[in-house]
Amino acid sequence: MTVCAASLFQWNYGVSGQESPDFGPAFIVASDRMMTDQGLNIEYESSRWKAAIVNKTNMVFVAGDFTFLSDAIQHLNKTINSEQDLDTDQIAILLSKSFVEVRNSRMERRYLSPIGVTFKDIEALRSESYIRIYEELQREQFGVEAIVVGCSGEKAGLYRLDEFGVITNHIDIGFLSIGSGGIHSSAHLMRQPYSHQSNYFRSLRATFLAKKHAEVSPGVGSATDMFKITKHEVLRIPDQITEHLEKIYRTQRVAESRRADAEISRLGAAFEVLIQQAQASAKSGPG
């Protein structure tokens, strides 16, 4: 599995030296590089990042069986070749259709083609048998999901897609995490609590730490890729910045460990005082 975390923040689009700042929506996204192939039952940390740049201001990040997602992205690319100026909402809808197409294609090849039947054949029956077969096939899960994130002019979009093509809008929440480590990543952002009114550096730090907290989950890799998405462009955060964030994280962990040790020592001393007081009270007796 994997983890991918995205957070909305306010970026100053104003010209340098301009008196009044021009704040607008932008995103920071962090992802690991752990690849999963459920067909071969393997996981490995890849040298490539797990995202697709759809156009100059929109990206798709994926979690789960990467072969499924590769098929979906390939299907999406074929769909959007003839499309122009797609916004984030439209990309989410098209990817949703791609998910449904790939899922149905795999289910048909696995269960129906061996007996010479297609989904269209079963659907044409419009019977209880069709309903039962359809419901049974829908129980199978490939364990995939995606984030569609980006800016279209002044409008920002942040969507989660599940393998059934269901789209949920997370723009008002201001952050979103997917993958096996998603619950840990989201928990960190909720504890902040993270606000979409944050500035760039706060968002950068919070999103990186959210990804690092997710590494306790099985299947989440240690490598981190980060991106900044504005209404003008998609930029990969330089490795030097992520390395500096890694140093901050390690320093923070050491400081937390030392603070915990100090608090435990003070707690032990407090208990020792209580025990001594109790013993003294017992020796003095009543009255």
Q: In whole angstroms, what is the distance from residue 224 CA to residue 219 CA?
A: 14
Q: Burial, 259: exposed, middle or buried (Cβ in 10 Å; 0-12, 13-18, 19+)?
A: exposed
Q: In whole angstroms, what is the distance from residue 1 CA to residue 65 CA?
A: 7
- Averaged pLDDT, 244-272: 91
The answer on pLDDT for 36 being more than 90 is no
Place of tokens 């995103």: 27
- Provide the 10 A C-beta neighbour count for residue 98: 25
Contact 175, 208 (CB under 8 A): no
- Averaged pLDDT, 104-125: 81
Helix and strand element counts for the chain (H, E): 7, 12
Cα-flanking dihedrals φ and ψ of residue 69, to 5°?
-70, -35
Q: Would you place residue 205 in the very low, low, confident or very high pLDDT band (cuts 50, 70, 90)?
A: very high
Upstream peptide bond of 21 is cis (omega within 30 degrees of 0): no
Indicate the SS3 state at residue 44.
strand
- Mean pLDDT over the full length of the chain: 86
Q: In whole angstroms, what is the distance from residue 175 CA to residue 126 CA?
A: 42
Q: Would you place residue 79 in the very low, low, confident or very high pLDDT band (cuts 50, 70, 90)?
A: confident
Place of tokens 């550096």: 201
- Averaged pLDDT, 133-155: 86
- Which of 46-55, 62-71, 79-88 shows the lowest mean pLDDT across its residues? 79-88
Q: Would you place residue 277 in the very low, low, confident or very high pLDDT band (cuts 50, 70, 90)?
A: confident
- Residue 159's alpha-carbon distances to 91, 145, 197, 265, 267, in angstroms, are 10, 11, 18, 47, 46
Burial profile 184-200: b = 16 or more Cβ within 10 angstroms, e = fewer: bbbebbeeeebbbebee
Domain ranges of the chain: 4-237
The answer on pLDDT for 98 being more than 70 is yes
Q: Is the pTM of this model over 0.95?
A: no
- Averaged pLDDT, 147-161: 94
Sheet holding 167-169, edge to edge: 51-55, 58-63, 145-152, 155-162, 167-169
Q: Burial, 125: exposed, middle or buried (Cβ in 10 Å; 0-12, 13-18, 19+)?
A: exposed
The answer on pLDDT for 285 being more than 70 is no
Look at residue 154 in the predicted model and tell me its pLDDT.
87
- Residue 131's alpha-carbon distances to 124, 125, 134, 137, in angstroms, are 11, 10, 5, 10
Torsion angle of C-alpha atoms 174, 180, 183, 188, degrees rounded to 10: -70
Q: Would you place residue 252 in the very low, low, confident or very high pLDDT band (cuts 50, 70, 90)?
A: confident
Selected from 3.60.20.10, 1.10.10.10, 3.40.50.2000, 3.30.750.24, the CATH number assigned to the domain covering 4-237 reads 3.60.20.10
The answer on pLDDT for 207 being more than 60 is yes
